[in-house]
């Protein structure tokens, strides 16, 4: 595709925080993207496509991504009352998932991309077509 349409911006589907929000899973995904050499053809990633995860309204601060820090640890031990930690309708943070909302999930994937793919800084598109009702996930977070 990149050769046939070199001026097209391509985004690769990256699931959503409920699937790839655990840091080991998100890192494995990003490692595969890098090993396949895809990042040179991608503008970034799309998340939450055909899913209902909340977008969120607050990003986590930079300190939640510094060094070996993860959102799961940051929100459980460092700043559990930070607004980015409180928007978690599926209660993923207590399971150390770093993707409680799609905004925070994108931040997490960006950290993995930079660390694993040699400084790669992807853009993100978050599909909000099915998550307009904030409480859509509170009834049954296991129903994807």
70-126: pLDDT as tens digits: 999 999 999 999 999 998 888 999 999 999 999 999 999 999 999 999 999 999 999
Reading the block at residue 29, the tokens are: 């995904």
Instruction: Look at residue 50 in the predicted model and tell me its pLDDT.
Output: 83
CB 51 within 8 A of CB 143: no
What does the angle CA 65 – CA 42 – CA 26 come to, to the nearest 5 degrees?
Answer: 35
Q: What is the pTM of this model?
A: 0.92
Check pLDDT > 70 for residue 56. Answer: yes
**Positive or negative, the Cα torsion across 63, 65, 67, 71?**
positive
Instruction: Look at residue 137 in the predicted model and tell me its pLDDT.
Output: 57
> How would residue 17 be classed by pLDDT, with cut points 50, 70 and 90?
very high
């Amino acid at each position: 595709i990149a050769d046939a349409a070199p001026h097209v911006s391509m985004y690769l589907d990256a699931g959503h925080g409920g699937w790839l929000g655990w840091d080991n899973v998100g890192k494995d995904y990003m490692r595969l993207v890098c090993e396949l050499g895809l990042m040179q053809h991608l503008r970034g990633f799309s998340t939450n496509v055909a899913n209902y995860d909340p977008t969120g309204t607050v990003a986590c601060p930079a300190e939640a991504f510094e060094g070996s820090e993860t959102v799961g640890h940051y929100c459980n031990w460092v700043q559990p009352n930070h607004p980015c930690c409180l928007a978690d309708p599926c209660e993923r943070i207590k399971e150390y998932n770093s993707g409680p909302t799609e905004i925070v999930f994108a931040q997490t994937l960006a950290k993995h991309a930079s660390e694993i793919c040699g400084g790669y800084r992807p853009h993100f598109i978050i599909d909000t077509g099915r998550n307009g009702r904030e409480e859509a996930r509170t009834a049954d977070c296991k129903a994807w």
